[in-house]
Every structure is written in C-alpha cells, then in structure tokens.
A and B are shown apart, each in its own frame.
Chain A
C-alpha cells in the first residue's frame, strides 16, 4: 500500500491529485447535464436551457424542477454518502470487502424502514423526515450488534471476523425482511420489493432536505478525520504507539459511517456496491492517503450513482430499472476484474 514511495515528488503528486479531482468533478457536471435531458419526456438541451432561464412551458418546468432535478441531487448525495461510508469502514476494518451492505448495516436500516411502512398507514407528508431517523436507528442497532459479536478482548476487532459476522447478520435480517414482506398486501409489497432492490423513490425536494443535513455534517467530519484513518491503516499496535485514543476514534468514525449509510438507505433502499467500488477506484486513482482519497471516493460515488440512475431511467422506458440493480450491473464486472487481477 506504500504508493508514496513510487511517486517522484510531493509537488507532482499534488498536481496529479488536483487534476483527478477536477476531472471527476467535470465528469459529474457532464453527466448532470445529460441526466437533465434524459427521461420519458422530450427535453432537448436547448429546452433545458430555456427552462432553466425561466422561459419553459409549465410542463417543462414541472419535469425539470420537480421531477428530474431533485432526483439528480438525491443521486449525487446518496452516491457520495455511501462512498464515504464505505471508505471509512474499509479504513477501520482494514478490509477491502467492508462496506455498509456487506456489513449488514444497509439491511438493518432497511428493516427499520420496512417495519415502519408495514405497520403505519400511508400518509403523504409524515414519514419523509422520520425515515432517515428510523433507518439510522436500525443501522445503529445492527452495527452495535455486529461490533459486539466480532469484538474479542484478547485481539480487538478482527477485520475478517467483522466481515463474516456482518454477512451473517445481514443474511439473517434479509430473511426477516422477506418474511415480513410476504405478509404485506400487494400494493405495499410492490413498493417494498422495488425498494429493497434499491430504487431512489424519493424524487422530491423534501427528500433532499431530509438528507442534506446528514451529508453536510458527516462528510466534512470524515474529511476532518482523514489523518486518523491514515494512522489506523498502520494497525492497532502502531496506532496506539503513535498515541491515538484508538477505541474512541474508532467508535466515532464507525458512528459516522453508520449514520451516513442509514440516512442514504432511508431514501434509496438497498443500494450496495457503491460503498465497495468507490473507495477502491479512489485508491487506485489517488492512492491511500485519506485526505485526498475520501473526497475522490465521494466524487466517484456521486458520479457512479448519477450515471446509474440516468441509465436506469432511460434504458427500459417508460419503466425504470431500480438504480441499485444498474449499479450492480456496472459494478459486478469491475469487481470480477479486480478479483482476477489480484494476486491472492
């Protein structure tokens, strides 16, 4: 993992990193524009421009401002959230397979949402701001359970055990989800089935508002803790030796990762893979230093999810493919490629 050794100088590294971040941001802008043009209704780039300048028809305004833009913004936020959550978890566990969905955190958050949907009758405005909190509670409970099950006094938190227990707990919760969803009436079952597949269903500015505080607080917090993650990468013994309050920092970061994942799941359902792939890609592009790797991962996650959502909206018109499935379709081949290239 010692990439810095192979890079000639700090200055050229800085330039390269800045270049990559700029490129990612530019790609996001491009896909953003394409996404505004993508959908069932015809809106040419010129129409979009007119509408943005306030000259569109009522229909065009409705489509752009009320249907497409909120979804684009939500995709960006969720992508960044999952990516940073996955990066933190991979850093904490020093395991390349860690991410909110493999650790069962997504399942826990989803389960809480599912219980709410099953037992509280449908209302229009109520649940939007409650859902992130509920998902958070579910995610936190699951994370606590996994943490305690995989913690051993003798040798601390073993990365392998963390993953294995996470997968087991996740599978258990998933089974409960299935049982619960079988008891739902057809309407709710449809909703839950699609939701479990990872569909961004909250296409509304209120969902942006519900999600935004979490992202605005937790992303900068994670960036701020980048150095801690760097030190944690060196192993528990070294971290302690360097004077890091290990358990406290680990808990704080874990809580941030769980909260990010929980808030995202409440709006998007079970989207996996973003939290797994984005950190990997980021590490390959800019190296393992978290100061630069975390922002890169956030940008990659946002880009990936926005692309997936646009493809999902366009490819089988007029029906939509749940974003989670598109992400998996893009992500799986890349992941196989990684596995094929890895030496183990």
Chain B
C-alpha cells in the first residue's frame, strides 16, 4: 500500500519542506506585528489614564478567602476590574469592567448600551488577552473556569477571586458578595431593595391579569428546545419573584436531575399544558422550520395565541440585577394586556 519512491534524491523533498516552513514563518511574522501594534495602541492609553483617575478615598486592602479556599488580597480601590460573565453585577454597582465576556457568536447583547465601548474578551480568558487589559482585580464566576492550573496563572496577572457555583447560582448573594469585594455594599443593598420593590409591583399586576395561569419559558437554539426551572435566570424571576405557576413539564422532571436549562424534545412539548409560552428564540428566522410544524401548532398555548417571543438580544437567558429587571419589564409587557 505504501511503496514510496525512495530512490529519488532526498534534497528535493528537503527543499520543499524547508520552503513550506519558511512560508509559514514569513506569514506568521507579517500578520503578527500588525495585530500586536493594534493591541498595544488600545492598551497603552488606558494604562496611563488609570493612574490619574484613582480617587483619593481612604480605603484599605482587604484579604478574603474565595470559594476555592485561596487567600486573595484585594487592592484598596480596584480600578481595572475584570469579571467575565459578571458584567451585569459590575454595571449595577456602577463599576466599569476593563473587558466584557464574549463567545464566537456574540456578547451579552442586553447589556450592549451599558458596555458600549468596552472591549471583549473570550469566555475562556486567554492569558495574554487578560494581561493586555492589565486588570488589578479579577473575579471569576465558576470553579470550572479556572481548573487545571489556570487559577494560578490568572493570579499572577492580578489578584483573582473565584465566586464559586454555590454563590453564583443566587444573584442576590452574588451581588452582595461582589459589592463587599469592591467596597460597594450600600450600592448592592440598594439595588436589591429597588429590585424587590419592582418585583412586588409587577407580581401584583400580573396576578391581577392572569390569575394562576401557568407560564413556560422555552429556549429555542439550533432547533432544540430547552425549558427552564424555578432556580435560575429568568425562571427564578418568573416562578420565584413574580410567583407564577410552573408548567407541568418542569414539575415532572425529578428535582435532582434538573439542569439550568433542561433539554426537551418537540414530541414531549406536545404534552405542555402551560397557558402561556415565553419563547426565547436564538434561531431568528430559522425558527420557522419548527414553529410552522404541526406539533408546535398543536400545543394548547400556541393554539390560544399565547406565545410571547423574545430574541437573543433580550435578557431571558442571563441572570443578574439588570437582566432580571429587564426580564420583569418583558414579562409585564407580554402578560399584562
């Protein structure tokens, strides 16, 4: 099968191999410099202005222990905070992050206005990108993000605090904790009070409008449906804060095997008896393939015309004081006629 022509002189092949490597090399050099210059141009001014804007408040360093047991010394007045996927909390506390979370196909679009000029950073926190933003304090949401030695490397760049899954699944606890870390506890408490007031008002209005009708939140992405339970993101808002009734399909999933967003097949959805459906559509126009089908059209809430659709730019998939507040606005506009 592999009888290569070994009689031929090797020098030709050698030359080819050499040529290939040189080409790669040259192209690597060329592009690399351009990209680097750009990075330097954007970071340099930021780094110089930072020193002048430091307020003269009398705050002291604090040493705290994070969710993974690291002892973290937070600078007295962190000026360049990096908290990927926790931007919602920073914005609520009036802190501008140095970079915002992103994945290949986008950012947290519901915060687009608040984070308009903030550069993006990939969700997996590439070390050199982190270094280029020169943070002086980093907050990481989950233990999983920094496993296998990444924590130690991040911590070399700037003191790094891991919030932990236990805290971060409750946005109130997260906000209070982040407020504490950034010397902004009063702001955090005020934000929660304001939110609770808003939620209580909305609860009264919605209850007057739909009584005890149930509402399902479905997320459609890549033609697959996911359903949220009462513990996370918009589910926590609707079922927890607004006191709405969970749909049958969620209560049927055993509590211990529930995920944040539970995958659910279209066939199973035909058994959904919810009175209202909030459809979070991440597929845009492609969703028609599913929503024009007989199964979808046969769901009682769809027949009754009680589908309220939201795009991926809305806050339904996220969690945090701002996301949840926007979710309440959306719920009011769709459920209260």
What residues make up the interface of A, taking CB atoms closer than 8 Å to B? 1, 3, 6, 16, 20, 23, 27, 30-31, 34, 37-43, 59, 62-63, 66-67, 96-97, 121-125, 127-128, 185, 187-188, 190-191, 194, 201-204, 206-207, 281, 283-287, 303, 307, 310-311, 314-315, 317-320, 338, 341-344
Contacts of A185 in B (CB 8 A): 144, 259
**Chain B 9-25 against A: per-residue CB contact (8 Å), 1 yes, 0 no?**
01001100110010011
Beta-carbon contacts under 8 Å, B120-158 to A:
121-122, 124, 126-129, 131-132, 134, 142-149, 151-153, 156-157
Shortest CB-to-CB span from A211 to chain B, Å, is 13
Question: Within 8 Å of chain A (Cβ to Cβ): is B113?
Answer: no
Known A122-B144, A122-B147, A190-B124; judge A342-B2 contact (CB<8 A): yes
Q: Is A284 touching B13 in the complex (CB atoms < 8 A)?
A: yes
Number of interface residues of B (CB under 8 A): 51
- Select which of B2, B14, B29, B31 is within 8 A of A20 by beta carbon: B14
List the B residue with the shortest CB-CB distance to A204: B149
Q: Are B2 and A42 neighbours in the complex by a CB distance under 8 Å?
A: no
By DSSP majority rule, is chain B's interface helix, strand, loop, or mixed?
A: helix
Q: Is B1 an interface residue (CB 8 A)?
A: yes
CA distance A230 to B142 in the complex (A): 53
Query: Which chain B residues lie closer than 8 Å to A34 at the CB level?
Result: 25, 28-29
Check: B6 CB closer than 8 A to any chain A CB. Answer: yes
How far apart sit A215 and B125, CA to CA, in the bound complex (Å)?
Answer: 30
**Are the C-beta atoms of A41 and B31 separated by less than 8 Å?**
no
Smallest CB-CB A-B distances: 4 pairs: A187-B144, A42-B36, A122-B147, A40-B128
On whether the beta carbons of B14 and A39 are closer than 8 Å, the reply is: no
CB atoms of A123 and B153 under 8 A apart: no
Given contacts A203-B153, A285-B13, A311-B28, 16 further A-B contacts (CB under 8 A): A1-B6, A27-B18, A40-B131, A41-B39, A62-B131, A66-B156, A124-B147, A190-B124, A191-B148, A202-B148, A204-B149, A207-B149, A286-B10, A314-B32, A343-B5, A344-B1
CB proximity to A under 8 Å, residues B57-80: 68, 70
On whether the beta carbons of B3 and A343 are closer than 8 Å, the reply is yes
Q: Is the CB of B149 within 8 A of A318?
A: no
Task: Please tell me if B7 contacts chain A, counting CB pairs below 8 Å.
Answer: yes
| 19 contacting pairs across A/B (C-beta < 8 A) | A27-B18, A27-B21, A39-B128, A59-B131, A63-B127, A67-B128, A122-B144, A124-B68, A124-B151, A124-B152, A125-B152, A128-B149, A188-B144, A191-B148, A204-B149, A207-B149, A283-B6, A341-B5, A342-B3
| CA distance in complex: A123, B144 (Å) | 9
Chain A contacts for B21, CB-based, 8 A: 27, 31, 303, 307
Which of A40, A43, A123, A286 is within 8 Å of B147, CB to CB?
Answer: A123
Q: Does B104 contact A (CB under 8 A)?
A: yes
Nearest chain-A residue to B104 (Cβ)?
A319
Q: Determine whether the beta carbon of B121 is less than 8 Å from that of A318.
A: yes
Contact between B14 and A59, CB atoms less than 8 A apart: no
- Which one of B4, B14, B25, B124 contacts A23 once the chains associate, using CB atoms below 8 Å? B14
CB–CB A121/B143 < 8 A: yes
* Contact in complex: A38, B32 (CB < 8 Å): yes
What is B's interface to A at a CB cutoff of 8 Å? 1-7, 10, 13-14, 17-18, 21, 24-25, 28-29, 31-32, 35-37, 39-40, 68, 70, 104, 121-122, 124, 126-129, 131-132, 134, 142-149, 151-153, 156-157, 259
Instruction: Out of A6, A303, A338, name the residue touching B7 (CB < 8 Å).
Output: A6
B65 → chain A closest CB, angstroms: 14
Question: Is A37 a contact of B32 with CB atoms below 8 Å?
Answer: yes
Find out whether the CB atom of B28 lies under 8 angstroms from the CB atom of A127: no
Q: A3-B6, A187-B142 are in contact. Are A320 and B126 (CB under 8 A)?
A: yes
State whether A41 and B131 are in contact (beta carbons under 8 Å apart), knowing that A27-B21, A30-B25, A285-B10 are contacts in the complex: yes
A203/B127 contact (C-beta < 8 A), A127-B148, A341-B5 known: yes
Bound CA span A20–B13, Å: 12
- Complex contact B32–A96 (CB within 8 A): no
Give bound CA distance, A179 to B37, whole Å. 44
A204 contacts across to B, CB distance below 8 A: 149, 152-153
Given A42-B36, A63-B131, A188-B144; A285-B14 close (CB under 8 Å): yes
A344-B3 contact in complex given A124-B149, A204-B153, A281-B17, C-beta closer than 8 Å? yes
A128 contacts across to B, CB distance below 8 A: 148-149
Question: Are A342 and B4 interface neighbours, CB within 8 A?
Answer: yes
CA separation between A33 and B210, bound complex, in Å? 68
Question: How far is B36's CA from A203's CA once the two chains are assembled, in angstroms?
Answer: 21
Assess whether B124 is in contact with A202, with CB atoms less than 8 Å apart. Answer: no
Residue of B nearest to A5 (CB): B7
When the two chains form their complex, are residues A314 and B143 in contact, meaning their CB atoms are under 8 A apart?
Answer: no
Whether A338 touches B128, Cβ cut-off 8 Å, given contacts A122-B147, A122-B148, A188-B144, is: no
A338 and B35: CB pair below 8 A?
A: no
| CA gap between A31 and B151 in the complex, in Å | 29
Contact of B4 with A341 in the complex, beta carbons under 8 Å: yes
Residues of A within 8 A of B126 (CB): 40, 318-320
Q: Contacts A41-B39, A314-B28, A318-B129: A284 and B10 contacting too (C-beta < 8 A)?
A: yes
CA distance A227 to B81 in the complex (A): 60
With a cutoff of 8 Å between Cβ atoms, the chain B residues found around residue A284 in the complex are: 4, 6, 10, 13
Shortest A278–chain B CB gap in Å is 12
Given known pairs A128-B148, A190-B124, the reply for A310 and B6 (CB within 8 Å) is: no
CB contact between B143 and one of A27, A43, A122 (< 8 Å): that residue? A122
Which single member of A31, A43, A67, A311 contacts B153 (CB below 8 Å)?
Answer: A67
